[in-house]
Chain A
Amino acid sequence: SQKIEQNSEALNIQEGKTATLTCNYTNYSPAYLQWYRQDPGRGPVFLLLIRENEKEKRKERLKVTFDTTLKQSLFHITASQPADSATYLCALEGTGGFKTIFGAGTRLFVKA
Chain B
Amino acid sequence: GAVVSQHPSWVICKSGTSVKIECRSLDFQATTMFWYRQFPKQSLMLMATSNEGSKATYEQGVEKDKFLINHASLTLSTLTVTSAHPEDSSFYICSARGDRDEAFFGQGTRLTVV
Contact = CB atoms under 8 A, between A and B. Distances in A.
Contacts, number: 47
Contacts of B110: 41
B44 A102 contact: yes
Interface string A10-45: 000000000000000000000010101000011111
A46 B101 CA distance: 11
A29 to B, nearest CB: 16
Interface in A70-106: 89, 93, 99-105
B43 to A, nearest CB: 4
Given A34-B102, A43-B93, A100 B46 contact: yes
Interface residues of A, number: 20
Contact of B44 (A49, A89, A93): A89
Nearest to A93: B101
Main secondary structure of the interface of A (DSSP, over half): strand
A101 B101 CA distance: 15
B6 A32 contact: no
9 tightest A-B contacts by CB? A43-B105, A43-B108, A104-B43, A102-B43, A102-B44, A44-B105, A43-B93, A43-B107, A43-B106
